[in-house]
Structures are given as C-alpha cells and as structure tokens.
Amino acid sequence: MENPTADFEPPRLVIFDCDGTLVDSQHHIVAAMHSAFGAHGLVLPEAERVRRTVGLPLATAIESLLPVGGPSLAAVVESYKQAAIAQRLVPDHCEPLFPGLVETLDRLETAGFLLGIATGKARRGLDFTLATHNLVGRFVTLQTNDVVAAGKPAPDMVLQAMAETGAVPVSTVVVGDTTYDIEMARNAGVPAIGVAWGYHDEDVLWKAGASHIINGFHELPDLVNKMMGGAICAR
C-alpha cells in the first residue's frame, strides 16, 4: 500500500526577529527604558546595557537592569509600556527598516517561502511597526511574547510558528540579531542565521550557535536556498 505522505514536502518557513533585525528600534527602546527608570527616580541604565536586553520578554529585560531594593518590577514595566505608547503617538515616530528588507521578502515569497516573525515586542507594538512600513500581510505567522507561555530564548515561538504553518525543523530557519534568537532556534531544533547589523556582536552569535552570519539582507535568499533547497528567483 502506498504511503500518501511519502511525497509530502513541508512548507519552507523563514522566521525573522523584529527589533535589530527588521527595524532599527534601539533609540526608542533606550528612550522608553530611560523614561521608565526616570519616572521612579532610578539611575538610568547605560544604553549598551539596554541594547543587550532587546529580544527578551519585557519584564525579564527590566528585571535584569533594576537595582536591588528598587521599586516593584510591575511598576517599572507599566511605566515602560506607557512610554512606548506615548512614542507611537508622536507624528514623526520612526523605526527605520534595515536596507534591502522589502526586496528580500519579495524574493523569498516568489520562491515559495513562508515568512514569519518571532519577537520580544507585544502584539500591539508589532502591529504598529508592520503597519508603519506597509508590511501587514507579508508574514503568515506572528509570534509575540504575549501569545506564548515563555519568550526567548525558550523555543515556544518557533514551535508555535511551525505548528501554525505546517513547517518542520528541517524546513525552518530563524534569522535574528541576538543570542536570544540563536538560542531560541537551537532550543527548537532549528538552524539560525545571525545578522551583523544588530544589537549583539558577531562573536557572541557564533558562540551561541549561529550556523551563518549575513552582512546584508541581499545575502539571505541564496543562503536559505542552499540550506533548504529550491530555486530562488533573481530580481
């Protein structure tokens, strides 16, 4: 008897991080963190310390920066959220896309790849970013910290993205700029590609287990093609 699934090929899925990978949001994140700490009379954390937390669940990131004996974690988290909301109300608020992103998404979609996002942002913030850059509808699965049991570096977002799309580990790759992205992918049994333009240095991405590191989005289509097979259309 023939196996009806013998010729089944799972979808090929590319899961992107958002902050530091798709968009350069570091200045807004640092500003919101400084606003939150300032609201409670705390010494402002250095910008580099804040950038190193990008990608973690918000409460985890803030907890790592808070001094012992400071205000409640919940209070500072709420202050950060309010600062972030206020930023989005500013007319010229902008988290610029990194160069070459849209063209790369076009090439991947044309070649039949499914696209997803796994981010430390809340869904409201992610929706705002996608709408700002006319990217709504480009990603078939959106995973945020407020829809999973555990954020990065736990595997939950990758596992859920694969479940939603029918992809499997060998047909999935994660693209991100931090060790949390790389560790999330590895914990889900998925290869990870680091990006050289983000918030963690290349050496720590390699040490975390990145299989490759790209210097620009233009390198990504051919790379995932080699990793997973299939034709990439030149544009």
203 is catalytic: no
24 is catalytic: no
Six-digit token string for 101: 């992103």
Q: Using CA atoms, how far apart are residues 129 and 135, in angstroms rounded to an integer?
A: 8
> Backbone phi, then psi, for 4, in 5-degree steps?
-65, -15
Residues in the chain: 235
Q: Using CA atoms, how far apart are residues 90 and 162, in angstroms rounded to an integer?
A: 36
Count how many Cα atoms sit within 13 Å of the Cα of residue 159 in the half-sphere of its side chain: 15
Give residue for tokens 């209070």.
Answer: 75
Q: Which of 17, 156, 177, 181 is catalytic?
A: 17
Q: Which of 19, 156, 177, 181 is catalytic?
A: 19
**Do residues 167 and 12 lie in contact, with contact meaning Cβ atoms separated by under 8 Å?**
yes
Q: Using CA atoms, how far apart are residues 123 and 156, in angstroms rounded to an integer?
A: 15
Q: Using CA atoms, how far apart are residues 172 and 204, in angstroms rounded to an integer?
A: 22
List CB contacts of 20: < 8 A, sequence separation 6 or more: 26, 54, 55, 176, 177, 178, 195, 197, 198, 199, 200
Catalytic positions, written as ranges: 17, 19
